[in-house]
Amino acid sequence: MNTYRAKMRTRANWVSLAAVVMAIIFFVLTFYRDQLPTLPSFIKGFHQGAFLSFELLAVWFLSTYMRIRNKDEKLKQWHIAETDERTGLIIRNASTLAMAIIFSGLGMATIVAGFFSTTVFFSLMGALLFILVVFYVLWIYYAKKL
Distance CA 22, CA 17 (A): 8
Write the pLDDT tens digit of every residue in 32-66.
Answer: 888 888 878 888 888 889 999 999 999 999 998 88
Per-residue pLDDT, averaged over 118-131, amounts to 93
pLDDT value of residue 89: 87
Does the reported pTM lie above 0.75? no
CA atoms within 13 A on the CB side of 111: 5
Q: Who wins on pLDDT, 116 or 84?
A: 116
Distance CA 45, CA 39 (A): 10
Per-residue pLDDT, averaged over 14-27, amounts to 93
Write the pLDDT tens digit of every residue in 88-119.
Answer: 888 888 988 999 999 999 999 999 999 998 99
pLDDT value of residue 17: 95
Phi first, then psi: give them for residue 69, nearest 5 degrees: -60, -30
Per-residue pLDDT, averaged over 129-134, amounts to 93
